[in-house]
Amino acid sequence: MAILADAESQILVQGITGREAVSFVRDSLDYGAKVAAGVTPGRGGSDVHGVPVYDTVKEAVKRHKIDVAVVAVPAGFAKDAAFEAIENGVPLVVVVTERIPRRDVAQVLELADIQRARVIGPNTMGFICPGKTKVGSVGGPARDTVKAFTPGPVGVMSRSGGMTTEVCNLLTHSGLGQSTAISVGGDAVIGSTFLDLLPLFEQDPETKVVVTFSEPGGNVEAALARYLKTKGTRLPIVSFIAGSFMDNMPGVRFGHAGSIVEGKQDTVAEKARRLREAGVLVADDLSQIPDLVKKALKQKTPRK
């Protein structure tokens, strides 16, 4: 099974006539995803790769049952686009736009909480349920996606969009398929963290292990470690934290806004220590992930 979406999920793309969206919509359609509609104000009545375009989300949801909205508009319009999707009843909003002001993101997340919608991102490449659907640009062209991703028991969550594909490609070539792989977003404030998404993987009977790809900065790993130490999980977790070189090079920045190191607690070494104390299998090198996943699959999983 998959989480967040499946082969029947209907996708709406806001900003569908933009260059980035035109590209990933083609890739999604080639992969078999059901992109049902798009929205670009003033372009209603046109189409993109055969997908009908509407002027508003309200018009689109009248004609299509939309399960997921992808926000692919400039940063200055992203808050309004996300609001429009949430207010029109779309339960899952994936915000691929980056450099959105934090205040705007906070307002989107507050509305989503009120309306009981889920937000992935911002600054995400989306997510993929191998063999079923892909939402956003993760995986790139379909011909590359089918090589890197394959159905299986490993759930993947990554703070880096590009490394979502790299991790899954590594797993695939080691004979380990994925249930769902999610680029959670590289900004400092995001809608769904590792901790927010872990319960969804726990509820999926076909997910047997979870892999996380982390970076320096932020508190998502610390929050996950605290949860695991107090409540545990039925799923073994394997984690890799990139950027260990930053621990010895003060002032050096990773690429994402969410990777700002504000103190010792944000360093790779401290994150790794906390995760190990919580029972996570932490890889010292990316290449160790497949072997640790195989080890975790053989072990008796911890009880929640």
Mean pLDDT of the chain: 92
Residue 217: per-residue pLDDT: 84
Give phi and psi for 157, each to the nearest 5.
-130, 130
* Residue 104: alpha-carbon gap to chain centroid: 20
Tens digit of each residue's pLDDT (9 = 90 or more) over 136-172: 999 999 999 999 999 999 999 999 999 999 999 999 9
Is residue 253 packed enough to be buried (19+ CB in 10 Å), middle (13-18) or exposed (0-12)? middle
Residue 261: per-residue pLDDT: 47
245 pLDDT above the threshold of 60: no
Residue 9: per-residue pLDDT: 98
pLDDT band at 255 (very low <50, low <70, confident <90, very high): low
Residue 189: per-residue pLDDT: 94
Long-range contacts of 230-233 (CB under 8 A, 24+ apart): 231/304, 232/279, 232/302, 232/303, 232/304, 233/198, 233/202, 233/302, 233/304
State the sign of the Cα–Cα–Cα–Cα dihedral 212, 217, 220, 224: positive
Residue 264: per-residue pLDDT: 53
Residue 280: per-residue pLDDT: 98
22 pLDDT above the threshold of 70: yes
Question: What's the average model confidence in pLDDT over 181-187?
Answer: 96
Question: What's the average model confidence in pLDDT over 251-262?
Answer: 49
Superfamily of domain 10-298: Succinyl-CoA synthetase domains (3.40.50.261)
- Tell me what percent of the residues of the chain surpass a pLDDT of 90: 87
Helical axes 102-115 vs 75-87, angle rounded to 10°: 10
Active site residue 256: yes
Tens digit of each residue's pLDDT (9 = 90 or more) over 60-88: 999 999 999 999 999 999 999 999 999 99
Query: What are the extents of the domains in the chain?
Result: 10-298
